[in-house]
Structure 1
Amino acid sequence: MKRSMPKVSIIMPCYNDGLYIHEAIESVLQQTYKNIELIIIDDGSDEEDTINILNDLSDERMKVLHTENLKPAGARNYGINIASGEYILPVDSDDKIDATYVEKAVKVLQNNPNIGVVYCEADLFGEQNGKWDLPSYSFETMLLDNIVFVTAIFYKSDWEKVGGFNTYMDSGMEDYDFWLSILAVGKEIYQIPEILFHYRIKKVSRTTQFMDNSMQVKEIYSRIYDSHEEFYEKYSKVYAKILRDALIEQTFLKRKYEFELKRLLEGYEEENVIKRIMRKLFC
């Protein structure tokens, strides 16, 4: 039988995010669910303001640890390893969570033993604003690409079972790799149909740098497949159909954009011809 209010350990890696971390911390400490601990991992920050802010933090509900630039996956593993909570929630030091997120997620986990991960809908703030246009959760979509952000609640015991976050994903996507590991051990993922997570968009971030490098993207997805080869073999028929559908969709989109581009270029040429005729007639 589940305890009425098991502890939730919130894991917050920080690398030079002093400008934003107070907002992130405040959103954690304002949770309506009170049995929480906040573990902040200073992952080798070298910015003076960030170092001073982290050194000044003082609250009995939080711990501040120091590591030497393990990067997000390693820093999360470091914090989770010493966490005393039954549940784990990673929150990056520049993001925010709604005050009711933990309470609502824990309720789902306690009432559904087959569910191992709970997340929610999200919105964007910072350089962009509005709802984060992620697809609704489905197992089939997860076979193809990640639609679950890292700020999701899961069992520490499942983290131990799958070996934690894969630090070999040094360019990103360690959350996708981790969710696939959770699915592979038979747990389900559930999305709360409500915006409870607020994701900060910066001009430059690890995500934007990753998505700008096609070779790096191919390499990381190849690593993910290799790490979960048995899982993909188990669902090979489903995966093949999803890949086929994605290829068809991309082919039709390519045709559409090529047609639109051709039409724009033809219009541009016609406009230039008219301008040349007008110059000859009236100049």
Structure 2
Amino acid sequence: MEKVSVIMPCYNDGEYITDAVASVFGQSYTNIELIVIDDGSDDPKTVSILEELEKQGNVKLLHTERLRPAGARNAGIEIATGKYILPVDADDLIEPCYIERAVQVMEEKENIGIVYCRADLFGEKSGPWELPEYSLRSMLLDNVIFVTALFRKEDWESVGGFRTNMEHGMEDYDFWLSLLELGREVEQLPETLFHYRIKPRSRTTKFQESAAVVQETYRNIYLQHPRLYEKYKDEYAIILRDALIEQLFLNRAYQESLGILERLRKNPFLKYWIKKFILK
């Protein structure tokens, strides 16, 4: 049974990390090492909880100074002794059979380099995480694989780890593209085995607030993978055109709906009800 190293960065997530750790040690797969990276936490509650975890003896605790998620993951993977790596953030949860099912795929199919599953949301929002199905076509346009996916440590070494110069995040997307450049393939388990916590504020919500930041980040990802995008340049051009056409039609439908609403507002009989139930 090959060892799996679970890599868990933590920055002031003491409120959640106990549950995350429990979900790791509740796995049906038993050959696991858990490496928690305290990335400069300054919250007293978090520091205390991490100290208690370290005393238990079954958690490797590594201290870093605000390397941010990509750097913290790299630091943990650097000392990991497992053949396989599974990042799990300190506020998320995994189902008991996730690692076992993912390792089974890796062991049976040497061409597979990334194994992930279906996921749902909890916290500020709940329900299925409606990500598009994996395909190379979808990955060339946007990330459809969350960071809590199984991969080989040797592949991480081959591509130089997670890129740490991505100030606004998306380093997992960049990393998956690097593995695809190695010729690795992807498999998604059909069950919902990962639970992603939605917080009121996070790196993701900050990232989504600025169009300029999003544009810059995706531009950099494109420029960081010239071989991949050159290889699929014709398909990528078609994907972009299709996406643009879809957005144009969606925008037109939205504008038309605004026009219909404005005409309805001018109807005295409907004006009150629209104001009460639609525009409140």
* Structure 1 stretches of at least 4 aligned residues deviating more than 4 Å after TM superposition: 272-275
Quote the residue 2:277 is aligned against.
none
Q: 1:221 aligns with which of 218, 228, 243?
A: 218
For 2:58, give the aligned amino acid.
R
Residue of structure 2 equivalent to 1:34: 30
Matched, 1:268 2:265: yes
1:110 aligns with one of 99, 102, 107:
107
Q: What is aligned with 1:19?
A: 15
Distance 1:132 1:14 in 2: 23
Residue number among 155, 160, 163 corresponding to 2:157 in the alignment? 160
Matched with 2:249 is 252
- Report what 2:65 is aligned to: 68
Q: CA deviation at 1:274?
A: 7.3
Q: Deviations over 1:177-235 (max 9, x none)?
A: 00000000100011111100000011111101101111111111111011001210111
Amino acid at match of 1:19: E
Candidates 164, 182, 185, aligned match of 1:185: 182
| CA-to-aligned-CA distance 1:55-101 (integer Å, 9 cap, x gap) | 11133331011100000000000000000000000000000000000
Length, aligned pairs only? 271
Give a deviation string over 1:227-250, Cα, whole Å, max 9, x none.
001210111011111111111111
State the match for 2:134 in structure 1.
137
Any unmatched runs of 5+ in structure 1?
276-283
How far the C-alpha of 1:268 sits from its partner, in A, is: 1.5
2: CA distance, partners of 1:46 / 1:238: 47
Larger radius of gyration: 1
Taking a change above 3 Å as real, the CA distance of residues 53 and 260 of structure 1, as seen in their structure-2 partners, is same
The answer for the alignment partner of 2:228 in structure 1 is 231
Does the CA-based 8 Å contact 2:77-2:153 persist in structure 1?
A: yes
Matched, 1:50 2:68: no
Q: 1: distance between equivalents of 2:233 and 2:123?
A: 40
When the two chains are superposed, the root-mean-square deviation of aligned CA atoms in Å is 1.3
Distance of aligned partners of 1:263 and 1:157 in 2 relative to their CA distance in 1, 3 Å threshold: same
Identity of aligned residues (%): 58
Q: Which runs of 5+ in 2 are unaligned?
A: 273-280
Q: Please say if residues 84 and 150 of structure 2, whose CA atoms lie closer than 8 Å, have aligned partners that are also in contact.
A: yes
Cα distance, 1:52–1:273 mapped onto 2, change above 3 Å: closer
Q: Which moved more, 1:234-243 or 1:146-155?
A: 234-243
Q: 1:70 to 1:268 in 2, by over 3 A?
A: same
